[in-house]
């Protein structure tokens, strides 16, 4: 009986969603649920298609195609497109508009009941679909998509997060507004029968919605099918050290929203060293929860693209972006990405900025080569980072840095050498070891003074672990093994 009841509940949910969409006549406005669709539509479409991997000559499955806003553009590049929607009127409209393209199959079907042979597609594309599926339905379709994809195939999805974005009046709104981390977790836990999984390649806000509506809550994700059974050691460390609780706990030392040495006070000092002007483009590498990006946008009027490998960091950054004042909210955007895999246009950024993040990158010269390419001629690279004071260190420090933290520490001199080797000029590296000790001691005192509240909010064990971590940083710095440095260079 419980099973039958569950089936009836699912069918009722699907009928509710179908009835919701049957209220809208086939049009761009109804697909976007926005009266501004004509202003948004083309820009948004071009942006979303620019985030897709190379699908030239590939097999594409388009889920929740609606009236086919993306169908012809996909078909012009792909060898074949199977386009699916569960409203017959929408399918008919799509076929009427695009049926002249002979590489498209039009299908009316409920995605939750859809099936294809394993390995049928190289790219599965969806735009505003899973916010109309329950969690269980979403998980099941994610598993099916993984099965349908060929090895190394990609899955692209775009969804509204947090709350409603469209401005069209709705009598009823059954939409499910998840958070970015909900989608990340759902993708990461998906496993196919052949034991393949999804690897999240990229996740980011749609810039068009930030530009037109100051809305960062339109998110897209790109995931790749992989046979690798477990994440890399670095990714495991990122997930363990930078989960939501760990981030918020560390903010008790750095300051609310901050996750780098000295928090806001240090950031204020470092930004004052840069010649920032309104509307300059800044890339914030390892942007964390977005505090530096918000600060630069607020005080200098620059536009900031923040990139970080941690899903939890970007989740918090986007959530907090939605609470910023208009002029700040509109000038920043964030993305989940490995900076070594990122690909921005040459000569794009006026400034590239980073706070205590590059020690996570082992291929530093490769990174600096990319940063050099992305900077405009005359542009500035400025970053702070943890460094090894010398090449020889104690086993305790090596275990702490290389094993526990998964840091790859260079010396101040090796950083400068690598920067010069890829073409940077006016390279400067300042060892700030003494300043680092003083700052870290202040942070430790802040933790101690806030012990009672911390333990109440978290636990005594978590508090003790954080205290030990800060004490180790101080001891290693005083022993002359760990230091902290500032670097600047010009293209």
Contacts of residues 228-234 at CB distance under 8 Å and 24 or more positions apart, as own/partner, are: 228/197, 228/199, 229/195, 229/197, 231/199, 233/406, 234/360, 234/406
Q: pLDDT by residue (tens digit) across 300-339? A: 999 999 999 999 999 999 999 999 999 999 999 999 999 9
Task: Look up residue 450 and give its two tokens.
Answer: 């806030």
Asked which of 229, 261, 296 is the last residue of a domain, the reply is 229
| Residue span of the structural domain in which 116 resides | 2-229
Using DSSP, state whether 85 is helix, strand or coil.
strand
Q: pLDDT tens digits, residue range 74-86?
A: 999 999 999 999 8
Strand stretches in 340-481, DSSP E: 349-355, 375-388, 425-431
Are 423 and 324 part of one and the same domain? Answer: yes
pLDDT of residue 300: 97
152 and 301 in a common domain: no
Domain count along the chain:
2
Helix H or strand E segment including 445: helix 433-449
Quote the pTM value. Answer: 0.89
- Verify that 206 and 265 share a domain, yes or no: no
Measure the CA–CA gap between 143 and 132, rounded to whole angstroms.
Answer: 17
Average pLDDT over residues 205-217: 91
Domain shared by 302 and 319, yes or no:
yes
What helix, strand, coil percent values describe the chain, rounded to 5?
45, 20, 30
Radius of gyration of the chain (CA): 24
Q: What is the DSSP string of 446-485?
A: HHHHTHHHHHHHS-HHHHHHHHHHHHHHHHHHHTTSEEEE
Question: Cα separation of 231 and 408, whole Å?
Answer: 18
- 244 plus 225 within the same structural domain: no
43 Cβ contact partners less than 8 Å away, ≥ 6 residues apart? 208, 211, 212
> 419: domain CATH number?
3.40.50.150
* 241 and 330 co-located in one domain: yes
- 238 and 222 together in one domain: no
Q: Once rounded to an integer, what is the mean pLDDT over residues 42-60? A: 95
Distance in angstroms (rounded) separating the CA atoms of residues 261 and 245: 19
Same domain, 175 and 314: no
Strands 121-127 and 104-108, how do they pair?
Answer: unpaired
Question: Last residue of some domain: 210, 229, 248?
Answer: 229
Sorted by sequence, the CB contacts under 8 Å of residue 432 that are 6+ apart come out as: 384, 483, 484, 485, 486
Model confidence band, residue 33 (pLDDT cutoffs 50, 70, 90) = low
Residues 389, 483: contact at Cβ < 8 Å? yes
Model confidence over 108-163: pLDDT tens digits?
Answer: 999 999 999 999 999 999 999 999 999 999 999 999 999 999 999 999 999 999 88
Domain termination site, one of 229, 258, 277: 229
């Amino acid at each position: 009986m419980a099973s039958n009841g569950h089936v009836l509940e699912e069918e009722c949910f699907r009928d509710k969603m179908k009835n919701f969409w049957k209220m809208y006549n086939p049009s761009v406005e109804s697909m976007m649920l926005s009266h501004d669709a004509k202003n948004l539509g083309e820009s948004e479409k071009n942006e979303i298609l620019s985030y897709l991997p190379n699908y030239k000559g590939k097999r594409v499955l388009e889920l929740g195609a609606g009236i086919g806003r993306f169908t012809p553009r996909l078909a012009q590049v792909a060898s074949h497109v199977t386009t699916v929607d569960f409203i017959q009127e929408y399918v008919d409209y799509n076929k009427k508009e695009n049926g002249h393209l002979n590489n498209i199959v039009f299908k009316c079907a409920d995605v939750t009941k859809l099936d294809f042979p394993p390995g049928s597609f190289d790219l599965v594309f969806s735009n505003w679909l899973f916010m109309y599926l329950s969690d269980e339905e979403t998980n099941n379709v994610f598993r099916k998509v993984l099965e349908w994809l060929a090895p190394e195939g990609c899955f692209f999805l775009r969804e509204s997060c947090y709350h409603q974005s469209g401005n069209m009046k709705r009598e009823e709104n059954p939409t499910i507004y998840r958070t970015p981390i909900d989608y990340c977790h759902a993708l990461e836990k998906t496993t196919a029968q052949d034991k393949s999984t999804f690897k999240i390649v990229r996740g980011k806000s749609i810039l068009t919605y930030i530009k037109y509506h100051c809305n960062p809550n339109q998110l897209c994700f790109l995931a790749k099918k992989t046979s690798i059974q477990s994440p890399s050691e670095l990714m495991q460390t990122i997930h363990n050290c930078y989960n939501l609780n760990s981030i918020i706990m560390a903010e008790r030392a750095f300051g609310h929203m901050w996750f780098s040495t000295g928090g806001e006070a240090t950031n204020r000092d470092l930004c004052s060293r840069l010649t920032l002007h309104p509307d300059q483009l800044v890339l914030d590498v390892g942007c964390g929860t977005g505090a530096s990006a918000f600060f630069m946008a607020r005080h200098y009027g620059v536009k900031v693209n923040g990139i970080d490998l941690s899903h939890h960091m970007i989740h918090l950054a986007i959530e907090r972006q939605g609470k910023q004042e208009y002029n700040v909210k509109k000038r920043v955007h964030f993305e989940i990405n490995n900076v070594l895999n990122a690909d921005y246009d040459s000569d794009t950024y006026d400034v590239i900025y980073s706070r205590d993040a590059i020690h996570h990158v082992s291929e530093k010269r490769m990174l600096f080569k990319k940063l050099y390419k992305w900077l405009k001629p005359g542009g500035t690279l400025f970053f702070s980072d943890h460094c090894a004071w010398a090449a020889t260190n104690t086993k305790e420090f090596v275990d702490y840095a290389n094993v526990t933290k998964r840091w790859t520490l260079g010396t101040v001199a090796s950083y400068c050498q690598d920067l010069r080797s890829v073409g940077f000029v006016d390279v400067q590296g300042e060892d700030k070891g003494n300043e680092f000790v003083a700052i870290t001691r202040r942070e430790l005192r802040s933790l101690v003074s806030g012990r009672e509240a911390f333990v109440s909010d978290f636990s005594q064990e978590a508090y003790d672990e954080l205290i030990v971590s800060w004490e180790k940083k101080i001891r290693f710095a005083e022993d002359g093994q760990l230091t902290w440095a500032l670097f600047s260079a010009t293209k």
